[in-house]
A and B are shown apart, each in its own frame.
Chain A
Amino acid sequence: MKNSDTGSFIVNFNLNGKDVKAEISASTLLLDLIRNTFNMKGTKPGCNEGECGACTVLINDVPVNSCLYLAANINGKTVTTIEGLSCNDGSLSAVQDSLVKNGAVQCGFCTSGMALCIKALMFEYENLVNSKLTGKKPKLTENDVKKWLEGNLCRCTGYVNIIKSALELINNVERKSG
């Protein structure tokens, strides 16, 4: 990152698999960078205070509220938004598929954040499985999912089907991937 004469910064990072470059100001938030500069509107501004999780993106595979993340800190990192979650041919990823199949989408405003958080839970679970030396896979419980999704609010579904789709997806993780 360089401090240019105008007081702006240049950041280089990987957005949904592509190396990108952007000029930002000191107080640019990652949320605005994604929505305005890169015109990806799938990342939703909700409360703008880190309470609702609608703006969740993955930074180096962990979920972060993009409304509370300085774009200046994104240099050299990898960002995944909902646009990057679906497969290259445009078809839905397993996470999105599971949410749709289980009727876990109503108004859809929280869905991007939910989907990315569930994706991050899959990574977390894989790491757990890989770190355990015993062959038996631990089963994810409803409470594990609830705890993981505590930072994502949904005002329509009552969470039941969202939790169900996460459980279905992860506890059958060897059948589906992605």
Chain B
Amino acid sequence: MNFELINPQSFKELFLVLKKLKHRKYRYAAGCTDILIELKRNPEDDLTLVNLSQINDFKFRGISQTKNSVRLGAGVTANDIVRNLNIKLLYPVLWEAAYNLASTQIRQVATIGGNICTASPSGDITCALVSLDATCVIIGVHGKREIRIRDFFEGPRQTALKKGELLYEIIIPGNKKNTVKLFSSFIKIGTRRSMECSVVSIAYHIQIDGFNKILTSGFAIGAVAPTIRFTAKACDFINRKNINALTERDAESFALKVSEYSDPISDIRATRWYREKVLFNLSKSIIEDIIKCQIEVK
């Protein structure tokens, strides 16, 4: 493993560095929990790592709440999310994804920017952010732009980032004003509990008002397609429905609509058939649980 390392201390310095590196091969490094493993296994020649972990920028490293959104800097670590009680309360799906990421040691350094930009089809935190319909704020030598996170991924390990750009922060829309109840969770099926790449992962965030109506819902699936996908049709199907009126049949239709977005591969972890079955059954059980929950309340 051999590379050059540049440690910019501010974004101003970073952009100067990027201009100089215009014709060179470079990659960003933040928590380094992924890139160092990759480079140990497959060293790259003439590589420069641009180290983002010494950049002093409170927005890049912090979590802040505005009136109708929560902003997470791309340099926020998984453990920063785990420690944030506001996120635990407002977005259980994101909190659970962060809490179940890799291991205690990895969570201290792994950043959400890294989880997103690695663009793994099975990224845990990323899956949660897709279900929350988050927006990525990208900065670069040519300015700033925003893109919905569901459009950020172009394939496995491929993102919409262009040379000279980097992910700066993620904006999560606030929950609806009249939301009184959340069904929000992250489910990960793997062969063991820790340090595991999921076989199927599902992130969902469903907001319900005082009359048991589904105000809005977000549902994202991971490890079952080349990219993490937002299952818009399935969400549209349950949006604005009253959960008292949901039936077993609806649960099945919902799961079918989710499955339309999947296109899994067979690999060392699981076969295509298995992934499809698990995805269908899990999606169905989420709606069934919501139905059950309602009966119990009555």
Contact = CB atoms under 8 A, between A and B. Distances in A.
B217 to A, nearest CB: 29
A63 B104 contact: yes
Contacts of A50: 33, 37, 102-103, 105-106
A56 B7 contact: no
Given A70-B51, A150-B193, A64 B105 contact: yes
Interface centre among A7, A27, A72, A120 (most CB of B within 10 A): A27
Interface string B88-105: 000000000000001111
B53 interface: yes
Contacts of A151: 102-106, 194-195
A70 B103 contact: no
Interface string A1-28: 1000001010000000000000000110
Contacts of A1: 7
Interface residues of A, number: 31
Contacts of B5: 9, 26-27, 70, 72
Interface string B1-29: 11111010000000000000000000001
Interface in A45-94: 48-51, 53, 56, 59, 62-65, 67-70, 72-73
B66 interface: no
A2 B104 CA distance: 32
Contacts of A9: 5
Given A50-B37, A62-B108, A150-B195, A72 B7 contact: yes
Contacts of B193: 150
Nearest to B54: A73
Given A27-B1, A63-B108, A72 B103 contact: no
B40 interface: yes
B215 interface: no
Contact of B51 (A64, A72, A120): A72
A73 B33 contact: no
B9 to A, nearest CB: 9
A7 B108 contact: no
Contact of B105 (A48, A63, A73): A63
B291 interface: no
Nearest to A67: B36
Interface of B: 1-5, 7, 29, 32-33, 36-37, 40, 49, 51, 53-54, 79, 102-106, 108-109, 193-195
Question: Across chains A and B, which 8 residue pairs bring their CB atoms closest together, nearest first?
Answer: A151-B103, A26-B5, A150-B194, A151-B105, A65-B105, A62-B108, A63-B105, A49-B37
Interface of A: 1, 7, 9, 26-27, 29, 48-51, 53, 56, 59, 62-65, 67-70, 72-73, 117, 120, 147-152
16 contacts: A9-B5, A26-B4, A29-B36, A49-B40, A50-B105, A59-B108, A62-B108, A68-B33, A68-B36, A70-B5, A117-B104, A120-B104, A148-B104, A150-B195, A151-B102, A151-B195
